[in-house]
């Protein structure tokens, strides 16, 4: 459920979550304001634009200082995974930030559903980074980013971050199999649930479930991969 403004308690909770106390509290509200609530004026998009660049720079700086044995190509690929939509969306969800989003009562996301899309989650997290940078400078923004992204950075650079959907696409391309997904919403605005069916060469092969479209697709792709590797690899 979206809000039409943030209370003092909301602002205090966000500061506790971020570990940063804002001098300009208005930046917090702006970072969580969707264009539907303000007709495109003072929404989060400009802060998101700034936060995206700050995130890229912070991760680049951290990787250069901590992974000195890796070449430029390895660092570039690692950074791309770290700052992509899936990890930023996951951090948004882990921090439980959806409860602070400000939008109009008629709000629906870019996929035509009530609720918050994965893209919007990623954008708001980047807007929050932009707000911290604007208020506290690079040091404060870097501290927030490294604190919240540390586990993801570690997993990515060790090669342990699993993107089952991408892996399934690669597997099917090599095996010359056609893969398609069909995702639908089964829950309500207050309790979103999604299911995803994976089709290989037109045949249903797996069904995944999750609290977001991304989670359902990843669950379905993971199950499809397990079945394909078990059956096709024996041929």
Residues 146 and 192 in one domain: no
* C-alpha span between 209 and 109 (Å, rounded): 20
In a domain, 2, yes or no: no
Q: What is the pLDDT of residue 55?
A: 98
**How confident is the model over 217-225, as a mean pLDDT?**
90
In a domain, 3, yes or no: no
Range with top average pLDDT, 12-16, 39-43, 216-220? 12-16
Give this prediction's pTM.
0.68
In a domain, 190, yes or no: yes
98 has pLDDT over 50 = yes
Alpha-carbon dihedral of residues 58, 63, 65, 68, nearest 10 degrees?
Answer: -160
208 has pLDDT over 90 = yes
Domain count along the chain:
2
**CA-based nearest residue to 111, from 23, 194, 179, 223:** 194
Q: What does the DSSP assignment read for 117-172? A: -HHHHHHHHHHHHHHHHHHHHHHHHHHHHHHHHHHHHHHHHTT----HHHHHHHHH
Digit-coded pLDDT (tens) for 126-147: 999 999 999 999 999 999 999 9
Residue at which a domain ends, from 122, 157, 192 = 157
Q: What percent of the chain has pLDDT over 70?
A: 89
Residue at which a domain ends, from 124, 157, 190 = 157
Residue from 29, 126, 135, 219 carrying the catalytic annotation:
126
121 has pLDDT over 90 = yes
Residues 93 and 170 in one domain: no
| Residue 110 annotated among the catalytic residues of the structure | no
CATH number at residue 200: 3.30.160.20
Residues 36 and 136 in one domain: yes
In a domain, 29, yes or no: yes
Cβ distance 212 to 158 under 8 Å?
A: no
Residues 214 and 107 in one domain: no
Residue from 29, 43, 48, 52 carrying the catalytic annotation:
52
At residue 62 the predicted structure's pLDDT band, cuts being 50, 70 and 90, is very high
In a domain, 177, yes or no: yes
At residue 107 the predicted structure's pLDDT band, cuts being 50, 70 and 90, is low
| Residue 226 annotated among the catalytic residues of the structure | no
The DSSP output letter for 5 is: S
Residues 178 and 230 in one domain: yes
Residues 133 and 173 in one domain: no
Cβ distance 31 to 128 under 8 Å?
A: yes
Digit-coded pLDDT (tens) for 2-33: 667 889 999 999 999 999 999 999 999 999 99
Give me the domain span that covers residue 58: 8-157
Residue at which a domain ends, from 139, 157, 175 = 157
């Amino acid at each position: 459920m979206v809000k039409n403004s943030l209370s003092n308690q909301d602002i205090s909770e966000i500061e506790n979550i971020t570990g940063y106390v804002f001098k300009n509290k208005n930046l917090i509200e702006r970072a969580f304001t969707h264009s539907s609530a303000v007709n495109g004026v003072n929404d989060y998009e400009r802060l998101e634009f700034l936060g995206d660049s700050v995130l890229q720079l912070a991760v680049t700086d951290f990787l250069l200082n901590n992974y000195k044995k890796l070449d430029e190509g390895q660092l570039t690929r690692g950074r791309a995974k770290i700052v992509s939509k899936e990890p930023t969306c996951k951090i948004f969800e882990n921090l439980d930030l959806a409860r602070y989003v400000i939008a109009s009562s008629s709000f629906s996301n870019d996929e035509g559903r009530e609720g918050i899309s994965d893209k919007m989650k990623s954008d708001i997290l980047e807007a929050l980074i932009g707000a911290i940078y604007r208020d506290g400078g690079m040091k404060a923004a870097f501290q927030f980013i490294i604190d919240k992204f540390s586990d993801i950075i570690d997993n990515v650079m060790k090669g342990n971050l699993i993107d089952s959907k991408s892996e399934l696409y690669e597997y099917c391309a090599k095996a010359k199999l056609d893969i398609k997904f069909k995702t639908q919403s089964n829950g309500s605005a207050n309790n979103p649930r999604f299911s995803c069916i994976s089709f290989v060469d037109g045949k249903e092969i797996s069904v995944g479930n999750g609290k977001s479209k991304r989670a359902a697709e990843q669950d379905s792709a993971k199950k499809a991969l397990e079945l394909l590797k078990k059956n096709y690899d024996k041929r």
